[in-house]
Chain A
Amino acid sequence: MIIILIIDKDYTKELRVNKMTCNELDKFDYEEMNYCLFAIMDIGELLLMHGAEVSRVEDTIMRLCCAYGFARSDVFTITSSIVVTVMTADGKAITQTRRIRERDTDLGKVAKINALSRRICAEPVALEDFRKKIQEIQNMKQAPVLLHLGMYMMISASLSVFFGGTWMDGFAAALSGVVLFAALRGSTALKLNSIIQSMICSGITAAAVLLLVGAGVGVHPDKIMIGNIMLVIPGIQFTTSLRDMINGDTISGLLNMSEALLKAIAVAMGFTIILLIGGGGCSLI
Chain B
Amino acid sequence: MQPYIVQTIMGIFGSVGFAVLFGIYDWKLAVIAPCSGVGWIVYLVCVAAGYGVFTGLFVASLFVAAVSEILARILKTPVILWLVPMLIPEIPGGDLYDTMYYLVQGRYTEFGISSNQVLVEAGAIALGIILASYIVKITESIVRWQEKQRKRRQIKD
Contacts and interface: CB of A to CB of B under 8 A. Distances in A.
B99 A264 contact: yes
Interface stretch (A13-21, A94-102, A105-113, A209-217): A105-113
Contact of A158 (B17, B93, B101, B110): B17
A189 B97 CA distance: 26
Interface secondary structure of B, over-half rule: helix
Interface string A221-246: 00000100110011110111011011
B23 A107 contact: yes
Contact of A269 (B81, B88, B104, B129): B104
Contact of A108 (B14, B22, B126, B129): B22
B18 interface: yes
Interface string A143-185: 1000110011011011101110000000000000000000000
Interface secondary structure of A, over-half rule: helix
Contacts of B118: 238
A239 B126 contact: yes
Contacts, number: 161
Nearest to A272: B104
B25 interface: yes
Interface in B104-122: 104-105, 110, 114, 118, 122
Interface stretch (A29-37, A48-56, A64-72): A48-56
A265 interface: yes
A281 B98 CA distance: 12
Contact of B14 (A118, A158, A283): A158
A57 to B, nearest CB: 11
B94 to A, nearest CB: 5
A83 B6 CA distance: 48
Contacts of A239: 87, 91-92, 122, 125-126
A236 B91 contact: yes
A159 B96 contact: no
B123 A242 contact: yes
Contacts of B85: 107
Interface stretch (B48-56, B72-80, B148-156): B72-80
B17 A151 contact: yes
Interface in B1-23: 6-7, 10-11, 13-14, 16-23
A110 B96 contact: no
B112 to A, nearest CB: 14
Interface in A59-95: none
B103 interface: yes
A143 B13 CA distance: 19
28 contacts: A50-B23, A51-B80, A52-B78, A56-B78, A56-B80, A108-B22, A109-B23, A111-B77, A114-B77, A118-B76, A143-B20, A152-B21, A158-B10, A158-B14, A161-B6, A162-B11, A229-B97, A230-B91, A235-B93, A235-B96, A238-B122, A239-B126, A264-B97, A267-B100, A268-B100, A284-B94, A284-B101, A285-B98
Interface of A: 50-53, 56, 105-111, 114-115, 118, 143, 147-148, 151-152, 154-155, 157-159, 161-163, 226, 229-230, 233-236, 238-240, 242-243, 245-247, 260-261, 264-265, 267-269, 271-272, 281, 283-285
